[in-house]
């Protein structure tokens, strides 16, 4: 190893230790602490002059603290004349971008991958009032619209309702949270009378959540990072945000290894992707092992209505009717408990099943099979639980969930424990899992299994340091 120093951030020291053991190195000494006022302080104790620096930091736990710490460490290395700074982020920061605006509780729902489909599938301009001309308010007078909307929702209701071309994404509009919901319903029904597809909005601006990808990428670059190594990026497009090389490693070899060696009679099992975004990842594994593949498609659109609306009345945005307790609002405890009840009393009633999976459908046959759900990350656990429940309903015998990044925030682990749908959870140590393993304990006599990714990273670091090709380990692992 030539002139190489591996520093560890405070997020995942255990992984760094393991990487260093694999490399035959001792981690570089770095003093990481916080001042009394909360400012992070970094001091490198080892010389880095003209060295090849690797900084390992995972985007888990206190994400913002870890990110600032990483930036400061990069900056410190840069200032101390390091030759090259490679950031090793097993789990990338802010890699999964928010997709739907807030739920009732103001906490946005975060899961899955398909932000873009959601945004693009709905015409983005909320104020496209100029489609029809004649009796319309001139288009640019956004402020006047604003006013009229604020003063009398009814008035807007009329204007909008008279325009069939106006497309309302209002079910997704967070301005329409809890408080205004009732009002919404009233006006919906009134506009339905006019046989119209329009949802009048109280506020004509459609809220959106900003995408942080570029910011994170630019921050790292401006701090002085020269190279990024990460694993199973949620959005492969993320690489495009950077002006520096990004090596996205895959956990695929590890997952395959696990399936081949630990899933009993693996030739008969079905690889399942819990959402469309992960389909590619799952098919790749299924293909290379010659296994069958199934896909769960979840429709993400939420209807914020108390009663199901008929498809006709929704015009171009028609979906199957969904009851109000649908899945988008996942953070409210009441909802959580209700869904988990459903899962516990599994075959109990059609009613409950319909409530939960009305928007979810399975493509593929899992009757009497063992299923392996493959996903890149689990945060609150809703997606994977919903998938497992559906699989069990469709007659699947045993469900493995193989997850690269087990973030398990909030109540995720509790939910996983309570639910009987997933029989075994396998994750990797891209995120420090010590606490999680302890909290999970054993469910059905199966502990939370942790795959070790340190060898992949160690090999990548060695190859980058040596100037060898990294692509070889994409398929073979190590």
Partner 1 sequence: MSLRHPKNSIKILSANSHPDLSNMICERLGLPLSNVKALELANNEDAILVGESLRDEDVYIIQTGCGGFEKLNDYVMELLLMIHACRTASARKITAVIPNFPYARQDRKDKSRVPISAKLVANLLTTAGCDHVITLDLHASQIQGFFSIPVDNLYAEPNVLKYIQSHFDNKDDIILVSPDVGGAKRVASLADKLDTMFALIHKERAKANVVSKMVLVGDVTDKVCILVDDMADTCGTLCKASDLLLEKGAKEVMAIVTHGIFSGNAICKLNQSNLKRVVCTNSMPLNNLQELCPKLEVIDISGTLSEAIRRLHNGESVSYLFNTAVF
State the residues that interact with partner 1 by CB under 8 A.
Answer: 34-45, 47-48, 60-65, 67-68, 71-73, 75-76, 79-80, 93-94, 98, 101-102, 106-108, 110, 140, 142, 174-175, 203, 205, 207-212, 214-215, 218-219, 221-223, 331, 379-380, 407, 409-410
Kindly report the backbone phi and psi dihedral angles of residue 386, in degrees, each rounded to the nearest multiple of 5, phi listed first: -65, -40
- Look up residue 100 and give its two tokens: 């739907």
Cβ at position 86, least distance to partner 1 in Å: 17
Nearer residue to partner 1 within complex by CB, 42 or 372? 42
Q: What span, in angstroms and rounded, lies between the C-alpha atoms of 120 and 110?
A: 18
Q: What span, in angstroms and rounded, lies between the C-alpha atoms of 203 and 126?
A: 10
Cβ at position 210, least distance to partner 1 in Å: 3
Cβ at position 221, least distance to partner 1 in Å: 8
3-state SS of 423-465 is: CEEEEEECCCCHHHHHHHCEECCEECEEECCHHHHHHHHHHHH
Nearer residue to partner 1 within complex by CB, 84 or 463? 84
Please, what is the Cα angle at 102 between 99 and 108, to 5 degrees? Answer: 60
Nearer residue to partner 1 within complex by CB, 129 or 293? 129
Cβ at position 373, least distance to partner 1 in Å: 20
Cβ at position 342, least distance to partner 1 in Å: 21
Nearer residue to partner 1 within complex by CB, 113 or 197? 113
Cβ at position 260, least distance to partner 1 in Å: 31
DSSP class of residue 124 equals S
Nearer residue to partner 1 within complex by CB, 31 or 135? 31
Of 284, 282, 309, the closest CA to residue 297 belongs to 282
**What stretch of H or E contains 257?**
helix 252-262
Nearer residue to partner 1 within complex by CB, 175 or 272? 175
Cβ at position 60, least distance to partner 1 in Å: 8
First to last CA, the chain: 17
Nearer residue to partner 1 within complex by CB, 38 or 347? 38
Cβ at position 61, least distance to partner 1 in Å: 7
Please, what is the Cα angle at 310 between 307 and 312, to 5 degrees? Answer: 150
In this structure, are residues 11 and 4 in contact, taking their beta carbons and an 8 Å threshold? Answer: no
Nearer residue to partner 1 within complex by CB, 22 or 168? 168
Cβ at position 51, least distance to partner 1 in Å: 12
Cβ at position 1, least distance to partner 1 in Å: 21
In sequence order, what E strands does 40-149 have?
Answer: 40-44, 52-56, 84-89
Nearer residue to partner 1 within complex by CB, 314 or 377? 377
DSSP class of residue 259 equals H
Q: What span, in angstroms and rounded, lies between the C-alpha atoms of 287 and 475?
A: 13
In this structure, are residues 281 and 273 in contact, taking their beta carbons and an 8 Å threshold? Answer: yes
Nearer residue to partner 1 within complex by CB, 212 or 283? 212
Helix axis angle, 153-161 to 178-193, nearest 10°: 40
Nearer residue to partner 1 within complex by CB, 118 or 470? 118
Neighbours of 241 (CB within 10 A): 18
Cβ at position 94, least distance to partner 1 in Å: 6
In this structure, are residues 301 and 117 in contact, taking their beta carbons and an 8 Å threshold? Answer: no
Q: What span, in angstroms and rounded, lies between the C-alpha atoms of 419 and 449?
A: 17
Strand ranges across the sheet with 424-428: 360-363, 292-298, 270-273, 370-378, 398-406, 424-428, 449-451
3-state SS of 367-382 is: CCCEEEEEEEEECCCH
């Amino acid at each position: 190893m030539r002139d190489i120093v591996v520093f560890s951030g405070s997020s995942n020291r255990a992984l760094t230790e393991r990487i260093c053991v694999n490399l035959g190195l001792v981690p570089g000494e770095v003093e990481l602490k916080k001042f009394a006022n909360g400012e992070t302080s970094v001091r490198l104790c080892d010389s880095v002059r003209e060295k090849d620096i690797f900084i390992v930091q995972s985007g888990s736990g206190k994400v913002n603290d870890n990110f600032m710490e990483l930036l400061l460490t990069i900056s410190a290395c840069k200032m101390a004349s390091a030759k090259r700074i490679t950031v090793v982020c097993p789990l990338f920061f802010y890699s999964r971008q928010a997709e739907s605006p807030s739920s009732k509780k103001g906490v946005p729902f975060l899961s899955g991958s398909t932000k873009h489909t959601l945004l693009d599938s709905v015409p983005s301009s909320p104020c496209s009032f100029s489609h029809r001309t004649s009796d319309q308010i001139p288009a640019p007078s956004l402020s006047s619209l604003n006013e009229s909307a604020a003063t009398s929702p009814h008035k807007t209701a009329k204007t909008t309702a008279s325009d069939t071309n106006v497309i309302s994404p209002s079910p997704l509009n967070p301005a329409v949270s809890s408080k205004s919901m009732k009002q919404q319903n009233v006006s919906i029904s009134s506009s339905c009378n006019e046989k119209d597809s329009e949802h009048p909005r109280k506020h004509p601006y459609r809220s959106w959540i900003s995408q942080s990808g570029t910011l994170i990428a630019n921050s790292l670059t401006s701090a002085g990072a020269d190279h990024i190594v990460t694993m199973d990026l949620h959005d492969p497009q993320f690489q495009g945000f950077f002006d520096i090389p990004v090596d996205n490693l895959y956990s695929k070899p590890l997952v395959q290894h696990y399936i081949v060696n630990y899933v009993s009679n693996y030739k008969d099992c079905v690889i399942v992707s819990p959402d469309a975004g992960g389909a590619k990842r799952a098919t790749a594994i299924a293909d290379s092992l010659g296994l069958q593949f199934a896909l769960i498609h979840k429709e993400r659109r939420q209807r914020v209505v108390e009663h199901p609306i008929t498809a006709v009345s929704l015009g171009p945005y028609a979906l199957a009717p969904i009851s109000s307790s649908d899945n988008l609002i996942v953070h409210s405890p009441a909802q959580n408990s209700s869904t988990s009840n459903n899962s516990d009393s599994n075959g109990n009633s059609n009613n409950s099943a319909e409530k939960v999976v009305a928007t979810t459908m399975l493509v593929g046959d899992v009757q009497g099979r063992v299923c392996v759900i493959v996903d890149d990350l689990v945060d609150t656990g809703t997606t994977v639980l919903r998938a497992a429940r559906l699989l069990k309903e469709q007659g699947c015998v045993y469900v493995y969930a193989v997850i690269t990044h087990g973030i398990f925030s909030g109540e995720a682990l509790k939910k996983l424990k309570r639910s009987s749908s997933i029989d075994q959870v396998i994750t990797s140590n891209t995120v420090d899992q010590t606490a999680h393993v302890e909290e999970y304990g054993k469910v059905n006599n199966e502990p939370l299994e942790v795959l070790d990714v340190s060898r992949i990273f160690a090999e990548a670091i060695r190859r980058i340091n040596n100037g060898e090709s990294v692509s070889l380990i994409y398929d073979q692992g190590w």
